[in-house]
Amino acid sequence: MPHHPYTWPTTPTTLAAEQRRLAALHPEPWAPPDRPLRVAAAFVAFVRGEQGPGHPGDHAWVGAALLDGPDLLAEAVVPGVAGASYAPGLLALREGAMLADVLTALALHAHPAIPDVLLIDASGRDHPRRAGLALHLGAALGVPSVGVTHRPLRARGPEPGSLRGSTAPLALDGDDVARWVRTAPGVRAVVAHAAWRADAETAAVVVVRSALGHRTPEPLRQARRVAREARSRAG
């Protein structure tokens, strides 16, 4: 993963300005390659008692994993400290810097393997300023990115069909910003968010191809496992 020095905003005002700047950019669109996807994902596991909106300075363990199709190539974990409490549309203040740190550590473990795309538990274009954390992180690291969440942030649209791979559009102010995606039969749909260099259709393709029989795509499952195991070892 290429390393791009980047200073994360530290106030709501500077973050909002950076989000507006990123949203106005038009980077070259990315398309998934016709081979198994190499997907990196990261997940924040806050110390028990510090979940929820939390506070600045909350402690966490941050896990990351890189998969090539179904194969786990590398994993990494770092301790993290939240930059802020959670507020809608401002997740990057709380988690952005520590997610970037663990993905940079993952790049060292995985070298020379480079991810095709990042998968982040956050929104992208479905955001008040059209640049949620999934988009922000991809831009900061110079890697295409897709967000995956349990529900949309502001976008609205109908539920998808019941079959694996069924999708349905989610629109915000008339723009196609995400897709509902059924990742497995009989499970609730997740939201695939357009983010950095990835439109909503591409995001849905990445999420379906990365979901290996579970509701949550496998790279995020592995990143979550790494983070939670580190938290458990720390007590």
What is the Cα–Cα distance from 143 to 118, expressed in whole angstroms? Answer: 7
Q: What is the pLDDT of residues 151-175, one digit of tens each?
A: 999 999 999 999 999 999 999 999 9
Domain of residue 217, residue span: 12-234
Q: What is the pLDDT of residue 124?
A: 98
Q: Is the pLDDT of residue 112 over 90?
A: no
Per the CB < 8 A criterion, the answer to whether 93 and 10 are in contact is: yes
Domain count, the chain: 1
Helices (H) and strands (E) in the chain, counts: 5, 8
Q: Is the pLDDT of residue 4 over 70?
A: no
Residue 3 counted as domain residue: no
Residue 198 counted as domain residue: yes
Per the CB < 8 A criterion, the answer to whether 89 and 99 are in contact is: no
Residue 179 counted as domain residue: yes
Name the pTM for this structure. Answer: 0.94
Q: Is the pLDDT of residue 1 over 60?
A: no
CATH number at residue 20: 3.30.2170.10
Residue 2 counted as domain residue: no
Residue 106 β-bridge partners: none
Q: Is the pLDDT of residue 111 over 60?
A: yes
Comparing 63-77, 101-115, 189-203, 217-231, the range with the smallest average pLDDT is 101-115
Q: What is the pLDDT of residue 98?
A: 97
What is the Cα–Cα distance from 191 to 211, expressed in whole angstroms? Answer: 13
Residue 5 counted as domain residue: no
Of 142, 88, 155, 150, the residue nearest 115 (C-alpha): 142
Q: pLDDT band at 54, cuts 50/70/90?
A: confident
Residue 63 β-bridge partners: 43, 77
Tokens 């989000």 belong to 19
Q: What is the pLDDT of residue 61?
A: 97
Per the CB < 8 A criterion, the answer to whether 128 and 87 are in contact is: no
Mean pLDDT of the chain: 94
Residue 137 counted as domain residue: yes
Residue 7 counted as domain residue: no
Q: pLDDT band at 5, cuts 50/70/90?
A: confident
Task: Answer with the residue of higher pLDDT: 50 or 44.
Answer: 44
